[in-house]
Amino acid sequence: METIIGNKKIVVTVHDITPYFYGECLTIFNKLDELGVHQRTLLITPNYAGKSPIDSDERFIVMMETERKKGAELALHGFSHRNFEFYKKDYVEAKKSLQQGMGMFKNAFGFLPKGFVAPQWFQSKGSLKAVEELGFNYTAILRTIKYFNGKKYKTFPLNFDWGNSFLSKIIAAGNVFTASFRRKGLIRFAVHPMDIPNGVFDKEMKILEKLITDGWKPLSYENLISEIRL
């Protein structure tokens, strides 16, 4: 069942949270603190590129614990973040990867995540089935936020991590245009560590600051559910 969102809600998600991007993550978190975006969803990749396990880096674990105390939600984001990994996996493969990721997540933080978002927002039907069976409260795909209590909302994420091709720049410009003319509803605002070296971070933070100034209320995916009505 599709749901209705009250006026001006914005879910700010930071993708690709991993020890590999520790410095970039710290820069992003500091800027979001400056903007007053304390409710945010941090999408954590358990073993980025197969060589950056989250449960063996104490500095990273401490940073995430600090984030939780400030009001951030920690959610699961793929396993190794190799391209479209959960779009390519069937039910058995997806469930195995999810269980591995959940185990590393719990080893690091002492609890299991309530949300799962696949890299690039793409999941197979088997992956979606496994996510629900393993007890997650929600998942977010490219055009939909799906809560497993039956609620869902259709919305497209504003994403500035499209690379450096001409087409990618057009897509990013379209996101700027979309953000500028939205007057109500729900915005999903995605931030990536690579936005910093790619040179788009300052621009997207100015867009985010303008949205907040215009009255858009920051929420995590976890807390958004209390703002949704059927």
For the cut 90, the answer to whether the pLDDT of residue 177 exceeds it is no
pLDDT tens, 98-135?
999 999 999 999 999 999 999 999 999 999 999 999 99
Contact between 153 and 228 (Cβ < 8 Å): yes
Token pair in block for residue 176 = 């700027």
| pLDDT of 200 | 87
Reported confidence tier of residue 157, pLDDT bands at 50, 70, 90: confident
Token pair in block for residue 103 = 């185990």
State the average pLDDT over residues 176-188.
Answer: 75
Biggest alpha carbon–alpha carbon distance for the chain: 46
- The count of other CB atoms within 10 Å of the CB of residue 135 is 11
pTM for the whole structure? 0.92
Token pair in block for residue 204 = 């997207």
Average pLDDT, the chain: 90
Reported confidence tier of residue 1, pLDDT bands at 50, 70, 90: very low
Instruction: Catalogue all structural domains in the chain, each as residue range(s) with its CATH number.
Output: 4-229 (3.20.20.370)
CA distance 117 to 81: 11
* Buried residues in 111-133 as b, exposed as e (16+ CB within 10 A): eebbbbbbbbbebbebbbebbee
Residue type at 129 in one-letter notation: K
